[in-house]
Chain A
Amino acid sequence: MKWVLYISDFMIPLIIFGILVYGLLKKINIFDVFIEGAKGSVNTILTIMPTLIGLMVAVGIIRASGALDMIERGLKPLLKFTSFPSELIPLTILRSISASASLGLVLDLFKQYGPDSFIGRLISVMMGCTETIFYTMSVYFMSIGIKKTRYTLAGAILANLAGVIASFYITIWVFGR
């Protein structure tokens, strides 16, 4: 097994262990605090749910109509020289525009190919290392009235691109195709 997969197995238990030990050492009522924090998830879910329903319906419709397949097929010749799956191009682009819209597409791809397929694994890795560009930039810069963003956009696109390329090769390296 590759060491990267050890990280996968150990990460969550390790974080939980560390946090619990720290909490006990600081004499916190860990279970009470846990309950208090866990309660917050209901509100989070209630805000996510309508968005998710709206977007999954939209993605479901565009997928069922055959339009998404047309886009993917149209993009195929462009990617002939790389081995990057054309199914992921709409996702890669949408990811930089809107987090929730790209989420709808991710779930659709999980359904189409299964989360343990090459595509399923690749999008899982990809979603973990990229972030929405335009949304984040507009919220942060607009809040303080900045008009000239200089090299932020270029840097953000470059970072996301590096993330996508890295995800692609890392997924092949760790899981094979």
Chain B
Amino acid sequence: MLNYLWGFMILIGIIVATFTGTMGEVTQAAINSSKEAVQICITLLGVLAFWMGIMKIAEKSGLISGLTNKIRPILRFLFPDVPDGHDAQKYIATNLIANVLGLGWAATPPGLLAMKALQKLNLKKNEASNAMCMFLIVNISSVQLISVNIIAYRSQYGSANPSEVIGPSLLATCISTVTAIIFGKIMERRKRS
């Protein structure tokens, strides 16, 4: 997907530039953008290093695994087909907690394990189960508490208060996640085709 998208953007840009006479700007943009990307990475490195350090403390102190147990009641509600204490429940919990804390890189491995465990409970092996649909919809609705990356980018481009968007973002996330859950619950009630 990205292969086409990336090629398409550059090719379209160059073709359009021949008509609009902006070839000089296009060349400049290519050089400046690559330079800018590196600058952004440096800003991001600082913020990310700090955040990952803090999160390591949360992980090592057992805070994250403690939270994983605490959200069980929520998981029982979201995934009624998954038996209590099943592996799938554990992996889903780890994935969701990692997502909430903005640890995207730490969320994918348990997420894939959760899918595998859910597949064992699945009756039709080539068709997604209710639990799988719910899991992915909630995941895609984004459950992130804080998006540190966005804050770093805002600061890089000179925002006076980079973190001012945390509250509004949290509110918007709640709305999208609640929408996702309601939709999933409605669809669950309907008979499987």
A residues with a Cβ closer than 8 A to B are 2-9, 11-12, 15-16, 19-20, 22-23, 26, 28, 30, 33-42, 44-45, 48-49, 52-67, 70, 94, 97-98, 100-101, 106-107, 110-111, 114-116, 120-121, 124-137, 139-141, 143-152, 154-156, 158-160, 162-163, 166-167, 170-171, 174-175
Contact = CB atoms under 8 A, between A and B. Distances in A.
Interface string B137-163: 101111011110010011011111111
Interface stretch (B68-76, B77-85, B126-134): B126-134
Nearest to A110: B157
Interface in B1-56: 1-2, 5-6, 9-10, 12-14, 16-17, 20, 22, 25-26, 28-30, 32-34, 36-38, 40-41, 44-45, 48-56
Given A12-B163, A12-B166, A135-B1, A22 B37 contact: no
A150 B176 contact: no
Given A67-B12, A167-B172, A53 B136 contact: no
A118 to B, nearest CB: 12
A133 B125 CA distance: 22
A37 B10 CA distance: 37
19 contacts: A15-B146, A22-B57, A22-B61, A33-B60, A37-B55, A62-B12, A67-B13, A110-B154, A127-B147, A128-B173, A129-B169, A145-B126, A150-B128, A150-B133, A156-B136, A159-B141, A159-B177, A162-B175, A166-B175
Contact of A19 (B37, B63, B146, B176): B63
A174 B168 contact: yes
Contacts of B161: 8, 116
A62 to B, nearest CB: 4
A120 B45 contact: no
B157 A111 contact: yes
Interface in B165-193: 165-173, 175-177, 179-180, 183-184, 187, 192
Contacts of B28: 64
A65 B145 contact: no
Contact of A143 (B25, B116, B163): B116
Given A33-B60, A131-B139, A140-B115, A170 B171 contact: yes
B128 A141 contact: yes
A163 B6 contact: no
Contacts of A115: 153-154, 157-159, 162
Interface string B105-136: 10010011001101100001111100011001
A4 B29 contact: no
B138 to A, nearest CB: 8
A16 B140 contact: no
Contacts of B29: 57, 60-61, 63-64
B126 A148 contact: yes
Contact of A159 (B118, B154, B167, B180): B180
A2 B171 CA distance: 13
A11 B101 CA distance: 12
Contacts of B108: 139
A7 B171 CA distance: 10
A40 B53 CA distance: 8
Nearest to A170: B168
Contacts of A160: 140-141, 176
B33 A59 contact: yes
